[in-house]
Amino acid sequence: MRTHYSLLAAIAAAALLYTPSCAKMNNTSDSPANPYYSRTDTTKLDLPDSVWRTVLSPDVYAVAREKNTERAFTGKYWDFTGKGTYYCAACGNALFRSDAKFASTCGWPSFFETLRDNSVLYVSDNSYNMNRTEVVCGRCGGHLGHIFDDGPEPTGKRFCMNSIVLDFVPDK
């Protein structure tokens, strides 16, 4: 009987030891500083800015949550031509493939289509006395940029994005 108890105790101890590493393996977050960032979880996020402020860098927060625009020709991806996928820097949502990126003279990374139909959402934006359509992340609602009708075929669209809210992952 005593042997059984020690066996059970050993199994319980092993289970306790195993649990933390198992939990770590199941954590889909790709950024330890931002627990909401995941390139695999597509669950919508509805978090207040007070939470985003604690998990995003000030530069990303200023664009994603305060709708700032980075200066033209200053972002890291405006003339970048690497092959891979662009994800939302705030939440990890897959946004664009490099195949849909085109050389634009506007000074911001430009794409003619999103990776999935629901990668982004569109919001009417009448700020600064302009009638524009804002593009926000379909998962976290973060501001990404604007869309215009002067893009190349096949869509004729130009998704004019801020580099700082894009995370590029090269193809393997």
Residues marked active site are found at 160
- Burial code (b: 16+ CB inside 10 Å, e: under 16) for 49-58 equals eeebeebbee
Nearest to Fe ion of 100, 140 (CB atom)? 140
> Measured from the CB of residue 29, what is the shortest distance to Fe ion in angstroms?
13
Contact residues toward Fe ion (CB under 5 A) are: 88, 90-91, 93, 137, 139-140, 142
Q: How far is the CB of 93 from Fe ion (least distance, A)?
A: 4
Shortest distance, position 152 Cβ to Fe ion, whole Å: 25
Identify which of residues 139 and 157 has a Cβ nearer to Fe ion in the complex.
Answer: 139
What's the CA gap between 64 and 51, in Å, rounded? Answer: 13
- Judge contact between 140 and 47, C-beta under 8 A: yes
Closer by beta carbon to Fe ion, 97 or else 152: 97
Min separation Cβ 91 and Fe ion, Å: 3
Q: How many CB atoms lie within 10 A of CB 113?
A: 16
Query: Judged by CB, which is closer to Fe ion: 85, or 93?
Result: 93
Q: Helical H runs in the chain?
A: 2-26, 49-55, 58-64
Beta bridge pairs of residue 128:
none
Strand 101-102 to 143-148 pairing: unpaired
